[in-house]
Amino acid sequence: MKVLVAYLSETGNTEKLAQAIFNSLSSGEKELLPLEKVTGLDDYDLIFCGFPVQAHSVPKKASHFIKSIPKGKKVAFFASHGSQRGGEFAVTAFHHAVSLSSDLKVLGTFGSRGRVKMQLVEALSKQLEHRAWAEEASNAATHPDEADLKDAADFARGIIIKARAS
């Protein structure tokens, strides 16, 4: 099975998750690439696609990438976000990712908290539309941590099992 781990990351949090996922995959055919370095998708059997949550959603570059995935491909999404894990803000972003994937086989999603620069938290807390998640993000400074990276690796192993079975 040929597996691609593709990610968008502005400050390195999502990249750490991508590396943990990549390292957890057995040494078959696997590739780890930032989204902008991906040149073709036809050859992959499974694509892990990672992005930072922005404005409760999928950043434009990542949504373009998702829309470019060929019909019928197996995909799994992972994301980092300042807000609480499993909370409404993060889940909303995954709903957006899944809604872009109606022609794809979505095998699962994984979210981890990710550090947000304190200056940004302070600036965004002043804007009504960002206040709620930015307040949650104020204590995400240590993430992703070792436990998050282990969870990302466990998630990836589970996805591989699902991909083999489907």
Q: How many residues bind ligand FMN (CB under 6 A)?
A: 23
Q: Is 9 in the site for ligand FMN (CB under 6 A)?
A: yes
Q: Report, in Å, the least distance between residue 8 CB and ligand FMN.
A: 7
Structure tokens belonging to residue 121: 């938290």
State the nearest-atom distance from the C-beta of 43 to ligand FMN, in Å.
26
- Say what the alpha-carbon torsion angle 118, 119, 120, 125 is, to the nearest 10 degrees: 90
Q: Does 53 bind ligand FMN (CB under 6 A)?
A: yes
Strand partners, 3: 30, 46
Cα-based distances in Å from 126 to 18, 66, 73, 113, 134:
32, 32, 41, 21, 9
Rounded to a whole number of angstroms, the minimum distance from the CB of residue 116 to ligand FMN is 4
Q: Which of 3, 4, 66, 82 binds ligand FMN (CB under 6 A)?
A: 82
- Binding residues (CB under 6 A) for ligand FMN: these are 9-15, 52-56, 80-83, 89-90, 114, 116, 120, 133, 137
